Amino acid sequence: MKRDLVSIDDLSSGEIAALFRTVDEMAARPREWTHLAQGAILASLFYEPSTRTRLSFEAAMHRLGGGVISAADMRSSSAAKGETLADTVRVVGGAYADILALRHPAEGAARVAARYASVPVVNAGDGSHEHPTQTICDLYSLYAEKGRLEGLDVVLSGDLKYSRTVHSLAYALARLRANVVLIPHRGFEMPEYVLRRLRERYGNEPQRLEADDFRSIAGRADAVYFTPQRPHQLSLFTEANRVAVAKLDALYVTRPQQERFTEGEAAPPVRIDREALSGARFKDTFVMHPLPRVNEISYDLDQDPRSLYFKQAARGVPVRMALLAFLLGRLDLGAEAPAPEPTAEAVRGRLGMACPNPTCITNLESHYLEPEYVVVSRSPLTASCTFCEVAVAPVLVGCASTRVFHRHNSGDVRRIKAEHLVLFASEEQARGSGFAAAGRP
Ligand code: NCD
């Protein structure tokens, strides 16, 4: 079975550890791996701008002895003539290339590509959703500098709403038992679906952080601290539900993702410089950034030994070498793949509501993609989009077999068979689809 890398959770913790060992070797002797991908071709399909990600993927493939075909600007390809993502990846993946690296502005695009392509798909960023290969670069850099990940205190700051890098990174840090501190810009908090996954999948519970501690790096601070619930960490707590962090291991800064802002959204002019990091708490704090930076990090930090961002970018090549070799099946990591997720109830089909996220791939390519949701709870009925993960809260829930609808929090919803569930955003939509209210003809 092919392996795709759509989400950071497509790699098990054992595989990540094994990848790190390979990356060490590849970084130490970068020119000695030209046998690994001989005869294989990587296609870069980039529907959004990129410098480091695309070039490091391509450099990595060359270093492995493979070939590269590159559509650096898919907006100038047949996509501009209206070709769908599904059709593009079906042709390019298989007939032209053995592995695809895809960057796309729509959340969920990589999941769609992975379904349609017969070859492995690597998500090089799908909208504001995830960016798993950047996360491996970030984790590897932290690990290389600190020698461990478990127990580190890592701040994720800035635009946590639209930055896909911090979503994948937060999941991985939580899974690998690091502590995550969220310091978002006002209005750019971590999306609810990310927080839910942190809580439900990794058991990370948020704690409030002493607010005044972080004015220097966030301008203002409604900081949230996520920690795996382990007793010895209670020593970090100053009082119930309030946490003070004595020292920080890393401060991950993000660029305001202006290209995804909706009307009225504007990033605050927060800039981190040596002055902001002069306190004792920041003495050994690595400053990280996926790059490109705009104004968030002052150039006066570039020569500071705590700055890690250029090293992070340089490590993109050996990291992607290891990932490509692994996904092509040319490198055995000797680690277990992730356990399959427990099968949840799914709601599929055109009947009912569309995904509420306007930039979800199911809305942008709706002529062939049907909405698809995973049921989170039956009462009240809540769900999340299979592709972009955004929460879906229907007003009414219908039964496709009886053509009757109920309120989302009605007890009757529990009795509807999963395959008959239909989610409606409004009564008008339910009636327009030929459904009638329960109890009345
Ligand atoms: C990031 C991205 O594209 O999400 N860049 C990268 O891949 N290194 C970060 C950004 O654009 O801000």
Instruction: Examine the domain organization and report whether 148 and 120 are in the same domain.
Output: no
230 band by pLDDT with thresholds 50, 70 and 90: very low
Q: How far is the CA of 126 from the centre of ligand 1 (A)?
A: 11
How far is Cα 303 from Cα 371, in angstroms, rounded to an integer?
49
Q: How far is the CA of 288 from the centre of ligand 1 (A)?
A: 12
Q: Is residue 341 part of a domain?
A: no
Q: Is residue 303 part of a domain?
A: yes
What pLDDT, on a 0 to 100 scale, did the predictor assign at position 293? 95
Ligand 1 atom with least separation from CA of 165: 4
How far is Cα 16 from Cα 232, in angstroms, rounded to an integer?
26
Q: How far is the CA of 110 from the centre of ligand 1 (A)?
A: 16
Ligand 1 atom with least separation from CA of 48: 3
Instruction: Examine the domain organization and report whether 381 and 323 are in the same domain.
Output: no
Nearest residue to 13 (alpha-carbon basis) of 291, 294, 319, 335: 335
Instruction: Examine the domain organization and report whether 278 and 152 are in the same domain.
Output: yes
* Mean pLDDT of the region 259-272: 91
Instruction: Examine the domain organization and report whether 124 and 162 are in the same domain.
Output: no
Instruction: Examine the domain organization and report whether 180 and 236 are in the same domain.
Output: yes
**Distance in Å from the first CA to the final CA of the chain:** 50
What pLDDT, on a 0 to 100 scale, did the predictor assign at position 379? 85
Counting the structural domains of the chain, the total is 3
Task: Enter the tokens of residue 244.
Answer: 């003070």
* Mean pLDDT of the region 178-193: 88
Instruction: Examine the domain organization and report whether 214 and 277 are in the same domain.
Output: yes
Q: How many CB atoms lie within 10 A of CB 412?
A: 15
Residues 6+ away with beta carbon under 8 Å from 259: none
Residue of 47, 55, 134 to test ligand 1 pocket, by largest number of atoms within 8 Å of CB? 134
213 band by pLDDT with thresholds 50, 70 and 90: low
What pLDDT, on a 0 to 100 scale, did the predictor assign at position 242? 54
Ligand 1 atom with least separation from CA of 316: 8
CA dihedral 348, 350, 356, 359 (to 10 degrees): 100
Check pLDDT > 60 for residue 210: no
- Among 296, 327, 358, residue at a domain's last position: 327
266 band by pLDDT with thresholds 50, 70 and 90: very high
Helices (H) and strands (E) in the chain, counts: 12, 20
Nearest residue to 369 (alpha-carbon basis) of 381, 384, 386, 383: 386
Helix (H) or strand (E) holding 346: strand 346-348
- Among 327, 354, 382, residue at a domain's last position: 327
Which amino acid makes up residue 144?
A
How far is Cα 11 from Cα 357, in angstroms, rounded to an integer?
26
What pLDDT, on a 0 to 100 scale, did the predictor assign at position 235? 40
Q: How far out from the chain centre does Cα 106 lie?
A: 12
Higher pLDDT, 279 or 252: 252
Residue 56, burial from CB neighbour count under 10 angstroms (0-12, 13-18, 19+): buried
Higher pLDDT, 19 or 95: 19
Q: How far is the CA of 291 from the centre of ligand 1 (A)?
A: 6
Which amino acid makes up residue 434?
G
Q: How far is the CA of 53 from the centre of ligand 1 (A)?
A: 8
Nearest residue to 312 (alpha-carbon basis) of 338, 337, 287: 287
Q: Report the CATH number that the domain containing residue 108 is assigned in CATH.
A: 3.40.50.1370
Instruction: Examine the domain organization and report whether 21 and 121 are in the same domain.
Output: yes
Residue of 44, 54, 126, 131 to test ligand 1 pocket, by largest number of atoms within 8 Å of CB? 131
What pLDDT, on a 0 to 100 scale, did the predictor assign at position 247? 81
- When the pLDDT of each residue in the chain is averaged and rounded to a whole number, the result is 90
Model pLDDT for residues 68-84, shown as the tens digit of each residue = 999 988 877 777 778 89
Q: How far is the CA of 164 from the centre of ligand 1 (A)?
A: 8
Q: Report the CATH number that the domain containing residue 394 is assigned in CATH.
A: 2.30.30.20
Q: How far is the CA of 124 from the centre of ligand 1 (A)?
A: 9
Instruction: Give yes or no for a contact between 34 and 65, defined as CB atoms under 8 angstroms apart.
Output: yes
Q: Is residue 338 part of a domain?
A: no
* Mean pLDDT of the region 126-148: 98
pTM comes to 0.93
Q: How far is the CA of 253 from the centre of ligand 1 (A)?
A: 11
For 338, which DSSP code? P
Domain that holds residue 224: 133-309
Instruction: Examine the domain organization and report whether 321 and 296 are in the same domain.
Output: no
Instruction: Give yes or no for a contact between 58 and 70, defined as CB atoms under 8 angstroms apart.
Output: yes
Instruction: Examine the domain organization and report whether 84 and 150 are in the same domain.
Output: no
Check pLDDT > 70 for residue 35: yes
What pLDDT, on a 0 to 100 scale, did the predictor assign at position 214? 63
232 band by pLDDT with thresholds 50, 70 and 90: very low
What pLDDT, on a 0 to 100 scale, did the predictor assign at position 228? 59
Ligand 1 atom with least separation from CA of 124: 7
Q: How far is the CA of 154 from the centre of ligand 1 (A)?
A: 19
311 band by pLDDT with thresholds 50, 70 and 90: very high
Higher pLDDT, 270 or 100: 100
* Mean pLDDT of the region 248-260: 95
What pLDDT, on a 0 to 100 scale, did the predictor assign at position 351? 94
Check pLDDT > 50 for residue 356: yes
Q: Is residue 333 part of a domain?
A: no
How far is Cα 382 from Cα 373, in angstroms, rounded to an integer?
9
Which amino acids bring their CB within 6 angstroms of ligand 1? 52-53, 125, 131, 134, 164-165, 255, 290-291
For the ranges 188-192, 269-273, 373-377, 396-400, which has the lowest average pLDDT? 269-273
439 band by pLDDT with thresholds 50, 70 and 90: confident
Q: Is residue 266 part of a domain?
A: yes
Instruction: Examine the domain organization and report whether 382 and 409 are in the same domain.
Output: yes
Supply the residue whose CA is at minimum distance from atom 11 of ligand 1: 292
Model pLDDT for residues 396-436, shown as the tens digit of each residue = 999 999 999 999 999 999 999 999 999 999 999 999 999 99
Q: Is residue 281 part of a domain?
A: yes
Q: Is residue 334 part of a domain?
A: no
Ligand 1 atom with least separation from CA of 164: 4
Q: Is residue 2 part of a domain?
A: no
9 band by pLDDT with thresholds 50, 70 and 90: very high
Q: How far is the CA of 232 from the centre of ligand 1 (A)?
A: 36
3-state secondary structure of 9: helix
Instruction: Examine the domain organization and report whether 172 and 183 are in the same domain.
Output: yes
343 band by pLDDT with thresholds 50, 70 and 90: confident
Work out whether strand 391-392 and strand 179-184 pair parallel, antiparallel, or are unpaired: unpaired
What pLDDT, on a 0 to 100 scale, did the predictor assign at position 33? 98
Ligand 1 atom with least separation from CA of 53: 7
- Among 280, 309, 338, residue at a domain's last position: 309
Instruction: Examine the domain organization and report whether 13 and 69 are in the same domain.
Output: yes
Residue of 135, 164, 165 to test ligand 1 pocket, by largest number of atoms within 8 Å of CB? 165
